[in-house]
Amino acid sequence: MKLTTTDSMNQKLKQQVVDANKALVSSGLITLTWGNVSAIDRESGLIAIKPSGVAYEELTTANLVILNLNGDVVEGDLRPSSDTKTHLELYRNFSDIAAVVHTHSPSATAFSQAGVALSCLGTTHADHFYGEVPVARALTAEEVGDDYEHATGISIVERFHELGLNPLEMPAILLKHHAPFTWGKSVQDALNNSIALEMCAKIALMTWQLNPNAKAIPEHILNKHHERKHGADAYYGQS
């Protein structure tokens, strides 16, 4: 049921969500409507997400669905993405993230379907993901039958707690038998992480074709590359 609210989401943020959803197509991350982007305005607690099944070229700020953290629709006449409950669970538990991206990009999805974590083989990976991108467990029959998308979010959060991971240092997860999710400190950051995840997965597959015995990057190189871009004394890019 749509609620009456005096809250409103920033129009600029809505446009960023529209643009990022459309960028899933131009970046080659999705086929058909196999992906979605959402963003949260932490001040109002409102979330904008792509409506379910709507073609990306038809997406506008007017047909986005706006919800609160309880999942109540406060703006919009269309059904939200079928993955909405997963997005909500991430926002509720990862308080520093501002946007979530879900795709079925081919290489990252291959790792997901195989249930294989994405090893950090080199510096390209280390620049975006601090170590191995983990795999979340397969859901049980009871979880799928009860509340599939909510259980998906729970499995992601559960895996991060098990491994003691920081969501900002590891802004990605591979869902066993499913596909990847990424997130970030902004809409563009979350989108970039999704693009980077797909490229790192593709490079890893090519690396193992050339050398099936290729191992993870040495820890001192991993630390150097991650810290120079994301650490307290980062010096990558411009201030």
Spell out the domain ranges in the chain: 11-230
69 to 91, 199, 236: CA distances (angstroms): 8, 32, 35
CA angle 71, 197, 144 (to 5 degrees): 40
226 band by pLDDT with thresholds 50, 70 and 90: confident
CB atoms within 10 A of CB 220: 8
Q: At which residue do the structure tokens 């600029």 appear?
A: 12
Percent of the chain residues topping a pLDDT of 70: 95
Q: Indicate if the pLDDT at residue 6 is higher than 60.
A: no
195 band by pLDDT with thresholds 50, 70 and 90: very high
Q: At which residue do the structure tokens 């997005």 appear?
A: 87
Residues labelled catalytic: 127, 236
How do beta strands 99-103 and 180-184 pair? antiparallel
Instruction: Write phi, then psi, for 161 (nearest 5 degrees).
Output: -65, -40
Q: Indicate if the pLDDT at residue 4 is higher than 90.
A: no
Sign, CA dihedral 13-18-19-24, equals positive
- When pLDDT is averaged across residues 115-136 and rounded to a whole number, the result is 96
Q: What is the pLDDT of residue 8?
A: 64
Q: What is the pLDDT of residue 224?
A: 87
- When pLDDT is averaged across residues 18-46 and rounded to a whole number, the result is 94
Q: Indicate if the pLDDT at residue 198 is higher than 50.
A: yes
238 band by pLDDT with thresholds 50, 70 and 90: confident
What is the C-alpha end-to-end distance of the chain, expressed in Å? 46
- When pLDDT is averaged across residues 213-217 and rounded to a whole number, the result is 96
| Residue range 53-80, pLDDT digits in tens | 899 999 999 999 999 999 999 999 999 9
H or E segment to which residue 140 belongs? none
Question: Can you point out the beta strands (E) in the chain?
Answer: 35-41, 46-49, 65-68, 73-75, 99-103, 135-136, 172-175, 180-184
Q: What is the pLDDT of residue 182?
A: 98
- What single letter denotes the amino acid at residue 215? K
CATH architecture designation of domain 11-230: 3-Layer(aba) Sandwich (3.40)
- When pLDDT is averaged across residues 168-188 and rounded to a whole number, the result is 97
Q: CA dihedral in degrees (91, 97, 98, 102; nearest 10)? A: -70
Output the pTM of the full model. 0.92
10 band by pLDDT with thresholds 50, 70 and 90: confident
